[in-house]
Copies of this chain bind each other. A is one copy, B any other.
């Protein structure tokens, strides 16, 4: 059952976007009277009946709305340095939305290889993954410089973690952490890793150093590993 993305599901009668309408009418070939499922990206799921269609327009009566509860108690926020090859971090966004994530920050670090992020493209990828995995929520997404994120989270009371390759003896294996109590923020650095300055800043702001297994992982692999392991503990 395919899901349609409709940002505003509050009205009794809604209109699909041109892109969604074309898929609905021309590809799937729905007609008036058919039932369809819609999600608003903010946790609302709805069932509706198609009232009218044209080649690129589709009007739907909303019959039923439901709030879709998050399957996890804790909220997961991953901040990841955008990769030089754009596809790699886009792959992460798609997989993270499928597995489960509440917020993604594209983190601009001292050694980041990419400093520009196409947020519209990221949103399209997240919406597509949400629909494909039959869920109703897309993560919040933003772009922030490292220092701005660290300082902005100063008074936040969740579990703050930074993953890096030379994590010392004070570090903890992510897989061993008890993660059931608080919301989680995990920082994943660029291929050149976080700078010493960034690590010191994070430690001074109560970030725990974590390891992501014994092997050296690419940025997007580290991010999806973190996402999978944290979800498996939720």
CA distance A135 to B213 in the complex (A): 13
The reply to whether the CB of A29 lies closer than 8 angstroms to some CB of chain B is no
Kindly report which residue of chain B lies nearest to residue A233, judged by CB atoms. B175
A91 — which chain B residues lie within 8 A by C-beta?
A: 91
The reply to whether the CB of A197 lies closer than 8 angstroms to some CB of chain B is no
The reply to whether the CB of A214 lies closer than 8 angstroms to some CB of chain B is yes
A154 — which chain B residues lie within 8 A by C-beta?
A: none
A200 to chain B, nearest CB (A): 26
Q: Which of B98, B133, B216, B229 contacts A232 (CB 8 A)?
A: B229
A199 to chain B, nearest CB (A): 21
The reply to whether the CB of A48 lies closer than 8 angstroms to some CB of chain B is no
Q: Which residues on A are within 8 Å of B, measured CB to CB?
A: 71, 91, 95, 98-100, 132-135, 174-175, 213-218, 221, 224-225, 228-229, 231-233
Q: Closest 8 interchain pairs by CB? A: A175-B232, A228-B228, A71-B214, A229-B232, A225-B228, A98-B221, A133-B216, A95-B221
